[in-house]
Structure 1
Amino acid sequence: MNRNSWFANGKLLITGEYLVLDGAKALAVPLKPGQHLTVNTSEKGILNWTATSPEGTWFKAKLKLPTLKVLETTSKVRADRLVLLLQKAIDQSAHLLKNIQGFDVETKLDFNPEFGFGSSSTLIYCLAQWAQIDPYKLQQQTFGGSGFDIACADARGPITFQRYKDTIQIQHAKIPSSISGFLYFVYLGKKQQTSKSIRDFRKNASFTSTDIDTITSITNQIIKTDSLDEFEMLLLEHEKMLSLILKTPTIKSSSFSNYEGCVKSLGAWGGDFVLVSSREPKQQFSEQMKKRGFHIIFSYADLVLR
């Protein structure tokens, strides 16, 4: 029996944001929530696409096959992105949508698409599995990025990721409970578009090969330590360095003033989730964050595959 469903883990980037694009070693974690893709045959010559999340249906499109002409949709922008993905996948695949039958495709996110957990990367990975093609190549031909998120899609725990041109190195990593037991992910409520963040970075940032080496060194030290104090110190060093490169204040100085623990931006700066350390019990920590206006909070154990 042919397979008709696939799953990809969500992701969060702990270190190496932006500079991972130019060869820095990054630490990333796969998430328990991800995206499911299910395909069934249906009306001849039609592709019905439905995207759902815990909040309900967030996108629908009806496409004509084999042209991929959009017949109906709830969002032209999203439909255009879907058509781009499908066309590039078809170009690489020996079988995807090559016959004249129709399909009902449903994608189901386990998380709110505004969370920045990888609604695009998980879709790319699942679509590549359906098409039996290279997900990294599909990503490069469509939305771009380093590929760390694709690596997280089928990872079983934290990884380090490093890319130089077309060479990718992925290694298993471990964040011990002496550290992870004090880590939380706090939602800032400002969705960042990765492709735009990359364009802005390319346009405005200034860095050297020494900066790339320094971030790699920080990542290497982070995955070796079992000390929360050292972990926090290294993340602080990372934040200060990226702040200078991006010419942007750290998230702690702009949104978490007077907070005693460590606050680290994750992925594109300015939105989505931040990593926060706390030695307080979860209930106390959550109350403290709510007083600051942040109401969506996950512990490391809640969210990360390990």
Structure 2
Amino acid sequence: MKTTFYSNGKLLITGEYLILDGAKGLALPTKFGQNLIVEKGNNQEIKWTSYDADGNIWFDEIIPISFITSSISVEEESVKNTLIRILRSAYQLNPEIFLNSEGYTVKTHLTFPRKWGLGTSSTLINNIAQWFKIDAFTLLKNSFGGSGYDIACAQNDSPILYHLEQDKPIVEKVKFNPSFSKDLYFVYLNQKQSSKNAIASYKEKKNNLETQKETINQITQLILTSDDIHTFTEVLENHEKILSGILETKTVKESLFPDFDGTIKSLGAWGGDFVLVISKKNPRSYFLNKGYETVIPYEEMIL
């Protein structure tokens, strides 16, 4: 018997690192994601094969179930050991998954390039949580860590407002369909960022952020209710300035695209992955000339 699970990718429009401290963020599930197919296997092992968006195998390993159910140390950083840690955390939340099991054959398929940062890890964690019939937010907390907005995107097919209350995820489905969406683009910066490293850097630099957090919450609400591109642009530029001050880092426009005629906003881990571009004319030629080949219109990216 074959069972298939699927999870959406994610993009965080507002909030960024401040979500870790309770700020509200607007998050958008993407049309890209990852599936996970589970079939019965044998030899008391998991045969795991992962395919990239182009159909090529990027990970292919056999993991004995006894290795997941034991406490054998897996300190060294590798894709295999990361997967073992996630599976071990999942098993601890539902040990019955391996009762009377002869083994499994598992295949995963991404519909976006891994380097894009749309949620290779979060879609995997949510899919594993579905397979194990456990809470994905708990699995994330016990394995990778993070705010959990990406898990919320994995589980929802519409825009969401996301925040933490006493470390518990609060997810609210919202309407977000700007009339000027034809002027919105996502550009990949050719630099895959590590969420773990970015979060660690943020925690080192942050101070008392109550004022900034409240301002970000107001910006998020304005973004939701604004149907005017000028207001939308203005508040997002303000968002960039606030994060720039907190992180003591230049905005992406200042550092990479100072001559661009339009607005550019960082998304997620600053300095890599995608940026949101607001431009009255198609900016593809500008970014191609700068060496950035992935320019995706809003309608092609967002669910």
TM-score over 0.5 for the pair:
yes
The answer to whether the aligner puts 1:289 opposite 2:287 as a matched pair is yes
Unaligned runs of 5+ in 1: 70-74
SS at match of 1:302: helix
How many angstroms apart in 2 are the aligned matches of 1:22 and 1:109?
31
How many angstroms apart in 1 are the aligned matches of 2:263 and 2:285?
17
Deviation at 1:54, TM superposition (A): 1.7
How many angstroms apart in 2 are the aligned matches of 1:76 and 1:243?
31
Deviation at 1:102, TM superposition (A): 1.2
**Residues 5, 39 of structure 1: 8 Å contact kept:** yes
Q: Which residue does the alignment assign to 2:109?
A: 108
Deviation at 1:207, TM superposition (A): 4.2
SS at match of 2:245: helix
How many angstroms apart in 1 are the aligned matches of 2:80 and 2:183?
41
Q: Which residue does the alignment assign to 2:60?
A: 60
Q: How does 1:177-216 map to 2 (within 5 A)?
A: 177-216=178-217
Report how many aligned residue pairs link the two structures: 296
Q: CA RMSD in A?
A: 1.5
Identify if the C-alpha distance between structure 1 residues 243 and 5 changes in structure 2 by more than 3 Å, giving closer, same or farther. same
SS at match of 2:11: strand
**Residues 187, 292 of structure 2: 8 Å contact kept:** yes
**Residues 93, 134 of structure 2: 8 Å contact kept:** yes
SS at match of 2:225: coil
Runs of 4+ in 1 over 3 A off after TM superposition: none
How many angstroms apart in 1 are the aligned matches of 2:102 and 2:262?
57
Unaligned runs of 5+ in 2: 71-75
**Residues 207, 245 of structure 1: 8 Å contact kept:** no
Q: Which residue does the alignment assign to 2:29?
A: 30
Q: Which residue does the alignment assign to 1:156?
A: 157
**Residues 47, 63 of structure 1: 8 Å contact kept:** yes
Q: How does 1:73-152 map to 2 (within 5 A)?
A: 77-152=78-153
Identify if the C-alpha distance between structure 1 residues 140 and 76 changes in structure 2 by more than 3 Å, giving closer, same or farther. closer
Listed one character per residue, the Cα deviations across residues 105-134 of structure 1 (whole Å, up to 9, x for unaligned) are 001110111100000000010000000000
TM-score normalised by L of structure 2: 0.94
How many angstroms apart in 2 are the aligned matches of 1:76 and 1:154?
28
TM-score normalised by L of structure 1: 0.93
Structure 1 range deviating more: 237-246 or 288-297: 288-297
Listed one character per residue, the Cα deviations across residues 179-221 of structure 1 (whole Å, up to 9, x for unaligned) are 3221000010000011111111111233421111111111011
**Residues 27, 153 of structure 2: 8 Å contact kept:** yes
Q: Which residue does the alignment assign to 1:230?
A: 231
How many angstroms apart in 2 are the aligned matches of 1:207 and 1:237?
19
**Residues 29, 153 of structure 2: 8 Å contact kept:** yes
How many angstroms apart in 1 are the aligned matches of 2:2 and 2:139?
21
How many angstroms apart in 2 are the aligned matches of 1:204 and 1:122?
29
Deviation at 1:171, TM superposition (A): 1.6
How many angstroms apart in 2 are the aligned matches of 1:13 and 1:46?
37
SS at match of 1:215: helix
Deviation at 1:287, TM superposition (A): 1.3
Listed one character per residue, the Cα deviations across residues 84-117 of structure 1 (whole Å, up to 9, x for unaligned) are 0000100001532233411110011101111000
**Residues 205, 247 of structure 1: 8 Å contact kept:** no
Deviation at 1:60, TM superposition (A): 1.6
Q: Which residue does the alignment assign to 2:243?
A: 242
Q: Which residue does the alignment assign to 2:4?
A: 5
Listed one character per residue, the Cα deviations across residues 117-164 of structure 1 (whole Å, up to 9, x for unaligned) are 000000010000000000000000111111100110121211110112
Deviation at 1:276, TM superposition (A): 0.2
**Residues 179, 231 of structure 1: 8 Å contact kept:** no
